[in-house]
Each structure stands twice: as C-alpha cells, then as structure tokens.
C-alpha cells in the first residue's frame, strides 16, 4: 500500500526491507568451499555475487565470463533447500544475461551436461537494481542439496556480467544417519566373513 513519508526515517519501510532481506538469506547456506563458477574471467569472482540482499548494489563485486557469454554455477548447500525464487542483477546493457536454466542435484556439472533438460528455464529481463524476482516451480525444487545455474546467453555482448544472485527459500539441516550407515557398512565385520575364509581350504585336491 502506498503511503507518504514525513521527515526522518520511515520505520515501516525499514521493517519491510529487513524482512525482505531475511527472505533472501539462502546465500548463508551455500557450501562456499565447494562452490564453482565455470568460465569466470577472474578466479573466485563467481562466489562474490552470493551476498546479503542489502549489499546487492555493491558494483565492485561481480563475475564476468571469459571465453564467451556462458556462465555455469555449481552451488552445493549445507543441507536441504526448498528454492522459491531467484534474483539476477546485471548491467542495463548487452552484458546482462538473457536466459537462466536451473538444474537440481547434479553435482559437478560441466557445460557438456547442460544439454540435459533443465528443471526450469527463465527468460530474463535487464535488472540493474536487483528488483525482479523469478519464482520457481516449488514442487521441482523442494529437496535441493545442489543447484546448478546455467546462463547460456546475454543481450548481445561478447561477455556476460552478473553483480548479484539472490536465492529465496527454506533450509533444512542435512540428516547425518546416512553417513553413519555408510561408515558401518564400509567397516567389514570379521564375524560375517568366517565362512568365506574357511571355504577355500575345504576344496579337495585330486
């Protein structure tokens, strides 16, 4: 609802901004040690675009593609994510990505793997202020531990530049019992293998 602003700070606007910023907090749940950006011109620059919503206007942090206009992000999470929305912020020119393709739970994707059918594809509009939200099909992104984002083309420039990517959704801590089971099975129990050890010795020699 529109409202007027008197002298001083508008408290309700500040609260709305804080709430919106909190909604875009999935960047905190990214496993940054394993995050990858393929075809980035400057190593490590891809990770800088995942930051607080309030800092999306920082033009000193961005990723630019290298050999051509394509960029591919491999984003592992520290738990299970329900992805609800995405923001992609770039320049108001030809370097802004024009298409985004999202893939779910395919770790270590390469550009060859992008020939697969994505879970969802978006036609992007130029968004120099980080204001446009692209809602996902939540049913397809309700149990995501790894998200790949492919930007195959832009609006005509030789390279693509992205300043900010916002991820909105819910995070659930990973279940640790699966690791326990794997470790148990990997450690052989000698009692289970007594027969295997004895059997070869019972063969008769003619």
Question: What value does the mean pLDDT take over residues 17-29?
Answer: 81
Against a cut of 0.85, is the pTM above it? Answer: no
**Selected residue with higher pLDDT from 70 and 197:** 70
Radius of gyration of the chain (CA): 24
Cα dist. 49→40, 62, 102, 165, 204 in Å? 12, 6, 17, 6, 70
What contacts 121, CB < 8 A, 6 or more positions away? Answer: 99, 100, 101, 102
Task: Say whether pLDDT at 183 is over 60.
Answer: no
Locate the domains of the chain by residue range.
Answer: 20-186
Task: Say whether pLDDT at 12 is over 60.
Answer: no
Task: Say whether pLDDT at 3 is over 80.
Answer: no
Cα dist. 59→56, 63, 171, 182, 189 in Å? 8, 10, 28, 45, 58
Task: Say whether pLDDT at 85 is over 60.
Answer: yes
pLDDT in tens, 112-146: 999 999 999 999 999 999 999 999 999 999 999 99
Q: What is the pLDDT of residue 204?
A: 42
pLDDT band at 174 (very low <50, low <70, confident <90, very high): confident
Q: Which CATH class is domain 20-186?
A: mainly beta
Question: What value does the mean pLDDT take over residues 45-50?
Answer: 98
Lowest-pLDDT range, 69-73, 94-98, 127-131, 174-178?
Answer: 174-178
Task: Say whether pLDDT at 107 is over 80.
Answer: yes
At CB < 8 A and 24+ separation, what contacts does 196-201 make?
none
Query: What's the rounded Cα separation, in Å, for the pair 181 and 183?
Result: 5
Of 137, 204, 135, the residue nearest 166 (C-alpha): 135
Q: What is the pLDDT of residue 23?
A: 84
CB-CB neighbours of 62 under 10 Å = 19
pLDDT band at 86 (very low <50, low <70, confident <90, very high): very high
Question: What value does the mean pLDDT take over residues 100-108?
Answer: 97
């Amino acid at each position: 609802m529109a409202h007027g602003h008197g002298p001083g700070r508008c408290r309700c606007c500040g609260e709305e901004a804080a709430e919106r910023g909190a909604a875009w907090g999935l960047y905190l749940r990214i496993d940054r040690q394993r995050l990858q950006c393929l075809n980035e011109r400057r190593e490590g620059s891809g990770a800088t675009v995942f930051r607080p919503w309030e800092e999306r206007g920082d033009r000193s942090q961005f990723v630019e593609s290298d050999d051509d206009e394509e960029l591919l992000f491999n984003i592992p999470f520290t738990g299970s994510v329900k992805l609800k929305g995405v923001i992609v912020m770039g320049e108001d020119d030809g370097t802004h990505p024009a298409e985004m393709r999202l893939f779910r739970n395919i770790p270590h994707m390469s550009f060859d793997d992008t020939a697969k059918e994505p879970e969802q594809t978006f036609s992007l509009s130029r968004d120099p202020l980080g204001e446009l939200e692209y809602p996902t099909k939540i049913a397809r992104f309700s149990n995501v531990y790894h998200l790949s984002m492919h930007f195959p083309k832009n609006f005509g420039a030789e390279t693509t530049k992205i300043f900010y990517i916002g991820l909105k959704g819910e995070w659930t801590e990973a279940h640790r019992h699966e690791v326990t089971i794997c470790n148990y099975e990997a450690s052989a129990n000698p009692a289970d293998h007594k027969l295997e050890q004895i059997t070869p010795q019972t063969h008769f020699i003619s």
